Amino acid sequence: MNITKTPKILLILLVLFFSLALAGCKEIENEAPSDHTVSKGGKNHAPGLYDPRANCTGCHGSNLEGSGEAPSCTSCHGNKWD
């Protein structure tokens, strides 16, 4: 193998790897439970999204800061429910 081609091949492989990694992150970020059927701002929410203290705390935590795999609501919405 020509040693001058090695850096080009490595660069191509690194770009491919990071492109696939970013695509995978995007998929994970957009995954939501099947009952999250309301699309708002490109994210799926549950039908009770306008009353999160009553409808979302079971998964997102009592303070809506996330719990387990459920993300923090405030990461997108700020502290609008305080």
- H/E stretch holding 78 reads none
Calculate the alpha carbon distances from 19 to 7, 15, 27, 58 in Å.
Answer: 18, 6, 13, 35
Mean pLDDT of 58-75: 89
pTM exceeds 0.75: no
Phi-psi region of 66 (alpha: psi -120 to 50; beta: other; left: phi over 0): left
Are 1 and 19 in a shared domain? yes
Are 16 and 54 in a shared domain? no
Q: Total structural domains in the chain?
A: 2
Mean pLDDT of 61-80: 86
Are 71 and 57 in a shared domain? yes
- CA dist 15 and 51 (Å) reads 43
Query: What is the token pair recorded at 6?
Result: 């090695």
Mean pLDDT of 67-71: 86
Residue 53 sits in which domain range? 35-82
Are 74 and 40 in a shared domain? yes
Are 42 and 62 in a shared domain? yes
Which pLDDT tens digit goes with each residue over 13-54?
A: 888 776 666 554 444 445 788 899 999 888 889 999 999 999
* Amino acid (1-letter code) at residue 19: S
Are 22 and 61 in a shared domain? no
Are 21 and 42 in a shared domain? no
